[in-house]
Amino acid sequence: MKRIIALISTIAIGSALLVSNCGKPNKANTVQEDHIVPVNVATVTSGSVENKINFLGDIKAYREVNVYSTIPEKITSLNVDINDIVQKGDVLATVNDVKIRQGVLQAEAGLASAKAQYENVLTEWNR
C-alpha cells in the first residue's frame, strides 16, 4: 500500500510540474534584443605598424626671460622669430638710431669745443 501511495504522489508531483511549465515560453529559444552591443567593423588591410602616439597640448618653457630695451626708440628690423634659439651676443633687433647718432655728434662737437678751449687756456697760461 505504501508503494501505491508513493507511486501516485510521484505521478501527481510530476504532472503538476509538467502542467505549470507548459504555458511559459522556453528561455533558451528567446532572443533578448535589449543586450545587443554595437561594434565597429573594419576591412583588414596589410601595411606597416608604427610605434607612435600623438598628443595634443601646450608646451611651456622651463624658463622664460623678458627682454626690454634701454632706449625708447622704434624697432626698424627684427632679426629673430618666436621660438628661435638665440645665443649671448646675438643681435635680436635694430632700432631707429637717428636721434642717438645726433646725440653722439653733439657730444663729439662739445668735446672738440672743450679741447679747443683747453688749448686756448693752456696757451694763455704759458705766456
| pTM given for the model | 0.36
pLDDT, tens digit, 9 for 90 and up, residues 7-31: 788 887 877 777 676 666 666 555 5
Q: Residue 118: what pLDDT?
A: 94
Nearest to 74 by CA among 90, 97, 102, 91: 97
Find out whether 110 and 126 touch, Cβ atoms under 8 Å: no
Q: Residue 100: what pLDDT?
A: 87
- For the stretch 37-48, what's the b/e string if a residue is b when 16 or more beta carbons lie within 10 angstroms of its beta carbon? eeeeeeeeeeee
pLDDT, tens digit, 9 for 90 and up, residues 45-84: 888 888 888 889 998 888 888 878 788 888 899 999 988 9
**Cα of 41 vs its chain's centroid, Å:** 32
Q: Where would I find the H helices in 1-97?
A: 2-22
pLDDT, tens digit, 9 for 90 and up, residues 87-124: 999 998 888 888 889 999 999 999 999 999 999 999 98
Find out whether 82 and 67 touch, Cβ atoms under 8 Å: no
Domain ranges of the chain: 64-127
